[in-house]
Amino acid sequence: MFSLPPEIPAPPDFAAELNEQQLAAVSTEAHHALVIAGAGSGKTRTLTYRVAWLLSRGVPGWRILLLTFTNKAAREMLERVHSLVGEGARHIMGGTFHSVANRILRRHAELIGFRPGFTILDTDDQKSLMRSIVKQRVGKQSKTNPFPKADFLLSLHSLATNTARTLHDVLLQESPQNCRHEEIIQKIFEDYAQRKRDANAMDFDDLLVNLRKLLEEHEEVRFTMQERFLHVLVDEYQDTNPLQDQIISLLCGGTRTSLMVVGDDAQSIYSWRGARVEHILEFPERFPDTALYKIETNYRSVAPILALSDAAIAQNEHRFSKTLRPARREEARLPLVVPAPDNRTEAQYVSLSIEQLIESGVRPCDIAVLYRAHFHSLDTQIELTRRHIPYRITSGLRFFEQAHIKDAVAYLRLLSNPIDESSFLRIASMLPRVGEASAARLLQAWRTAWQAYAAEHADYSAAPIPFSEIMSTVHPPTAAKTEWASFLATLESLRPAGHELTPSEMIVRVAEELESFLMAQYENAEDRIQDLEQLARSMEDAEDLDDFLSRVALLSETDRSIDANAGENCVTLSTIHQAKGLEWRVVFLIFLGEGLFPHHRSIADGDPREMEEETRLFYVALTRAQDRLFLSYPRYNGHGYDSHYCPPSRFLTSLPPDLYEVGEA
């Protein structure tokens, strides 16, 4: 008997589904390729079809690396490729720089001095670690000679790392008033590195730094990667920082690997995180043998939206000039500019319009409200809630940043990496009568006991791990004895003898353990328990503990709750930064007041480069809209004594008035 081969879709009709310029890029024979084109011209689509093209030409999926701005973007692109060419798409490595780095590092952690179960620290973990170091090094803060806060130190640290600058240079350029603290900050950074190492932990930046280190210092790994990846493709290339760029250079340093990057210099909006638009502008010099492709048709937006966007970006001097013709020629309404008396009225206007749009048949998921800063969304959130309009918010507190979720995840992290400092401290601090000092003492004892055990049991991942026995030398305060024993028992029960629990089953067990703590701690404990159950449900497909933990850590990176709520039919509320690359039929851009957007800091600094970046951000916002665009601002922001007059943004007043209509809130 013959069995039929799995159904393979006919290869896509590339020539019919792409325009000539896109097809030229998709089918390029050049070694390297740069596609530089305006918003909505199909750059991402071109990259997707390029992958399909390569597969249809016989390149195996595992030899392709696709780097995107969010993991969600990678997933969507790969789903699309899958629908175009079928199974071949399965083995492609795709995701953000961070998630790809994580995958490669898990395999080679030992080469750079880590164990494979290393923990990824999220922003909160980083902050508490930094705080405790500052406390040790600087002690009590004096009002007359204040020392920078943990948050700020972390952003300095990250900036130095991502822009490949020394602390000295970063301080000089970004915060000269803190130069006097340089020596002690340097020491704090050294402690920070050491503490992470002691805990077998990496922060987000470390993922990239360590991948670079691995590739630089281990020729054999570098060669293997260069041999493996015949094609590396990068979306949103205008926002790569020097560190990411060095990684690309290392991966593509051999003679075999072809690199295709796509981007738009006019949409570079991450210079504050070290992105350098020069990477795209200088690409052809750095990678000889590069073919340059342009795409000049915009498929996303109706003509009036495109005309307004073009006028907005035309104010910037430093850019590649590009022409964009609209593919969409249908009759369409002009964008609407709406001044509102104050922020509440603005929010009421936006919510009412959304309600009417939904009544007229527009799906909520086709509508977005975009803004410069998270707090601008507050009034709109309240109004939408009042009207029972479902929304998801991609800025602000997210699912995985909530304390109870982190408490539960801490158990699993500790199971995977028993010397994980922040997880241990998190759990210890839930015990009765355990304050900072006794938690630190417990940690010390815990580590000593663990290390003694680990020294004798090389393969300690074999189940079960007798935590209660191992920790018999660790003594919590008397008041916490029962809870301590129960914590150890729970930890032990997560890896029972005989069979493996899935990460979801583990979460369910931990939720049972946490229940009484949550009940005592929170009014809305039941909701929180439901959250934990939801976490277990949505992570059912995690392959194993490490996969689960990596996913959780990476979810709190850039795509955030977009993933948690994927597929739901609700309105999107998002900062412009997080809306990059996306599109909606209807876009509301709110809080367009001078000082709100552009941000008052860029006005005060008077640095034209900062204002140009704000303008690019405005351009990114406008170009997310397909059919309708609403631009609004509050004349007064705040209420009562706190209220202040807010003139319209310079971005609005400098637009040619024939390109928009004025509405009333």
* Binding positions for Mg ion, rule: CB under 5 A: 43-44, 581
Contact 575, 374 (CB under 8 A): yes
Q: How far is the CB of 267 from ligand ATP (least distance, A)?
A: 6
User: Which one of 413, 426, 624, 650 is the catalytic residue?
Assistant: 624
Dump the DSSP string for 149-162.
-HHHHHHHHHHHHH
Q: DSSP code of 636?
A: E
With respect to ligand ATP, which residue has the nearer C-beta, 51 or 120?
Answer: 51
Contact 93, 100 (CB under 8 A): yes
- Which partner, Mg ion, ligand ATP, none, binds residue 117 by CB below 5 to 8 Å per kind? none
Q: How far is the CB of 412 from Mg ion (least distance, A)?
A: 35
- Which partner, ligand ATP, Mg ion, none, binds residue 300 by CB below 5 to 8 Å per kind? ligand ATP
User: Which one of 126, 244, 267, 558 is the catalytic residue?
Assistant: 267
d(CA 280, CA 458): 48
With respect to Mg ion, which residue has the nearer C-beta, 40 or 598?
Answer: 40
With respect to Mg ion, which residue has the nearer C-beta, 265 or 492?
Answer: 265
Tokens encoding 549:
């933990």
- Which partner, Mg ion, ligand ATP, none, binds residue 423 by CB below 5 to 8 Å per kind? none
Q: Which residues contact 442 (CB under 8 A, 6 or more apart)?
A: 424, 428, 434, 474, 476
Rg (CA), the chain: 26
Q: Which residues contact 660 (CB under 8 A, 6 or more apart)?
A: 308, 334, 335, 336, 337, 631
With respect to ligand ATP, which residue has the nearer C-beta, 18 or 494?
Answer: 18
- Which partner, ligand ATP, Mg ion, none, binds residue 22 by CB below 5 to 8 Å per kind? ligand ATP
User: Which one of 235, 265, 492, 557 is the catalytic residue?
Assistant: 235
Q: What are the residues binding ligand ATP (CB under 6 A)? A: 18-19, 22, 37, 39-45, 264, 267, 299-300, 581, 583, 623
User: Which one of 236, 379, 546, 627 is the catalytic residue?
Assistant: 236
Told to judge if 43 belongs to the known catalytic residues of this protein, a careful annotator would answer: yes
Q: How far is the CB of 267 from Mg ion (least distance, A)?
A: 9
Q: How far is the CB of 246 from ligand ATP (least distance, A)?
A: 24
Contact 33, 25 (CB under 8 A): yes
Q: How far is the CB of 18 from ligand ATP (least distance, A)?
A: 5
Told to judge if 267 belongs to the known catalytic residues of this protein, a careful annotator would answer: yes
d(CA 30, CA 291): 6
d(CA 108, CA 335): 53
With respect to Mg ion, which residue has the nearer C-beta, 38 or 581?
Answer: 581
The size of the chain, in residues, is 665
User: Which one of 43, 300, 398, 406 is the catalytic residue?
Assistant: 43
With respect to Mg ion, which residue has the nearer C-beta, 339 or 581?
Answer: 581
Dump the DSSP string for 600-615.
HHHHHH--HHHHHHHH
- Which partner, Mg ion, ligand ATP, none, binds residue 61 by CB below 5 to 8 Å per kind? none
75-83, long-range: CB < 8 A, 24+ apart: 77/44, 77/47, 77/48, 77/51, 77/235, 78/51, 80/48, 81/48, 81/51, 81/52, 81/55, 83/9
d(CA 357, CA 363): 8
Q: How far is the CB of 95 from ligand ATP (least distance, A)?
A: 17
Token look-up 């007229």 returns 360
Q: How far is the CB of 658 from ligand ATP (least distance, A)?
A: 25
With respect to ligand ATP, which residue has the nearer C-beta, 200 or 298?
Answer: 298
- Which partner, ligand ATP, Mg ion, none, binds residue 39 by CB below 5 to 8 Å per kind? ligand ATP
User: Which one of 22, 44, 238, 380 is the catalytic residue?
Assistant: 44
Q: DSSP code of 329?
A: -
Q: State which residue has the least CB distance to ligand ATP.
A: 42
With respect to Mg ion, which residue has the nearer C-beta, 235 or 513?
Answer: 235
Q: Which residues contact 563 (CB under 8 A, 6 or more apart)?
A: 71, 72, 555
Told to judge if 627 belongs to the known catalytic residues of this protein, a careful annotator would answer: no
d(CA 154, CA 243): 17
d(CA 351, CA 176): 44
d(CA 180, CA 660): 51
- Which partner, Mg ion, ligand ATP, none, binds residue 42 by CB below 5 to 8 Å per kind? ligand ATP
Q: Which residues contact 364 (CB under 8 A, 6 or more apart)?
A: 354, 358, 389, 390, 391, 569, 570, 571
Q: How far is the CB of 102 from ligand ATP (least distance, A)?
A: 24
Tokens encoding 175:
């915060």
Told to judge if 580 belongs to the known catalytic residues of this protein, a careful annotator would answer: no
With respect to Mg ion, which residue has the nearer C-beta, 63 or 585?
Answer: 585
Active site residues: 43-44, 235-236, 267, 624
